[in-house]
Amino acid sequence: MLEVSIRNVLEHLGVEILDLQGASCCPAPGVFRAFHIPTWLVIAARNISIAEELGVNPITGCNGCYGTLRDVWYELNHKPELKKEVNNELAKIGRVYKGNFQPKHIVEVFYLDMGLDYIRDHIKHNFTDLKVGVHYGCHILKPSDKRPWGGEYEKPTFFDEIVELTGAKSIDYKDKYMCCGAGGGLRSSVKEVAADFTREELTNMRDAGVDIIVDCCPFCHMQLDLGQIEVNNFYKDMIGEPFNIPVIYVTQLLGVSFGVDPFLLGLVKNHELQGVSPFISIDPFLSIVKKQLI
Amino acid sequence: MSEMIKKNANDLNLNFRYEIAKKVGAKSLLKCIQCGVCSSGCTVTEYVDLQPHRVVASCLLGLKEEVLSSNAIWTCSLCHRCTERCPKNVDYSFILALLRNMAAKEGKIPKEYSSTVEVIYDNGFVVPYTEGMKKNIDRRRERMGLPEIVPPNLDDIRFIIDETGLGDLIIKKEDDK
């Protein structure tokens, strides 16, 4: 549901997408890096080298993939010895890593490469009253020395600026730059702990009065969306009313504002599609779209 | 909170701090002043048996076994706040990754983690992409108008996992079963 919105919005913005055929898992930073740093480096370098062959920057819509690809790219470009070791391994499968194409996050492409004016030029419809809880997530910001935001990680605004191009209002809420809870293998290993983070974050957002949550990472997306069901379940007694805040991915929000068909943004769920987002109904969001944009 | 540990000075692994610090990027361990900023900003601080500053203190004290068997090294969402906020630039986030690597080497791996590696070993992806799942995913993608997935050459992925040494860890784990 998210991928279809990424593809269609990028195409709407005049981007030609080349798929990284034969790419594998990034690999997952929480698990692979945790086990064995060298393996993490080589598999990530292999993925980046596929983009190098095509002569393009690898672009991802996921904070986790971004974390791995960007960190590995940075490490290898700053440590020639390490790069040599990685290339020794890659040579055995007939590949080479050069490091001349920097991995990017789509939000980075929107903000730094295209720029706000370019995005604004594509906006057809403006929201008149939509309060958004923007969730950055961790790895788009940190480690800050390996990110393109000039070291800012405690109170950046780039994502809010993108969201507000649509006329929506980004609402400040407590601990806005907090982790969703899913990363590092936490979601799979200690789900209750992950859900407890999510509970706190959802509570803060609800207290601030948000209509929807907007994120830029599929793993945060899953944690904030499917996680609401888990929080409603695990922490029934603590939260009062169960949570049901629609969770919308950045390109889905931009897409409706650009006038892209909601079908092409993964906003209309086919009943045959079980086990994919949205888990929490996004109907309230779609009603707002209908009322304010159409 | 963890119980108090009583240990003779002779039983401390005084080399442990250097074992960590000699790794590229981990020398910062030795600069810790125990201010506790890492733990106060840590998102999992209330769930771990050893808070970040105490993990660092335990490493410095040579409590290798205790550190490597603590839940603290696995209960972390890698949010990086500790590293960002440290006034002495101790890269706790990276040190924790190293500690996980060391624990993994000793076969101390929570099974949720090793099963993820096994899925990637078998599929190249973190979500299984074989048989029934593959059919399901392909059908869904077709419905959404998404292009077919071109999966990686699994021989390459397995070769890397085996060659770099991670494969040994998975096998070791399987031997334990």
Q: CA of B140: how far to CAs of A226, B84, B87, B143, B144, in Å?
A: 19, 41, 49, 5, 6
Tokens encoding A166 = 């649509």
For B40-97, write each residue's pLDDT tens digit.
999 999 999 999 999 999 999 999 999 999 999 999 988 999 999 999 999 999 999 9
Structural domain contains residue B65: yes
Q: Which residue of A lies nearest to B166 if distances are taken between CA atoms?
A: A36
Q: Which domain holds residue B61?
A: 9-105
Give me the architecture of the A115-293 domain, per CATH.
3-Layer(aba) Sandwich (3.40)
Structural domain ending residue among the three candidates B105, B132, B157: B105
- Give the ipTM: 0.88
* Count: domains in chain B: 2
Looking at the fold, whether B75 and B98 belong to one and the same domain comes out as yes
Q: What is the pTM of this model?
A: 0.93
CB pairs A-B closer than 8 Å:
161
What average pLDDT does the segment A139-151 reach?
Answer: 95
Q: CA of A245: how far to CAs of A127, A145, A267, in Å?
A: 18, 34, 15
For A7-39, write each residue's pLDDT tens digit.
999 999 999 999 999 999 999 888 888 888 999
Nearest to B100 among A35, A154, A194 (CB): A35
Residue A249 dihedral angles phi and psi, to the nearest 5°? -85, 150
* CB within 8 Å: A46 and B160: yes
Cβ neighbors of A251 (< 8 A, separation 6 or more) are A2, A5, A6, A8, A9, A10, A61, A106, A265
Q: Where in chain A is the domain with CATH 3.40.50.11810?
A: 115-293
CB A97 within 8 A of CB A48: yes
Distance from CA of A60 to the nearest CA of B (A): 15
| Choices 1.10.10.10, 1.20.1050.140, 1.20.1250.20, 3.30.465.10: CATH for A2-105 | 1.20.1050.140
Looking at the fold, whether B14 and B95 belong to one and the same domain comes out as yes
Q: Which chain B residues contact residue A89 at CB under 8 A?
A: 160, 163-164
Instruction: Report the candidate in B53, B34, B65 with the shortest Cα–Cα distance to residue B95.
Output: B53
Looking at the fold, whether B100 and B135 belong to one and the same domain comes out as no
- Residue whose tokens read 């409590």: B63
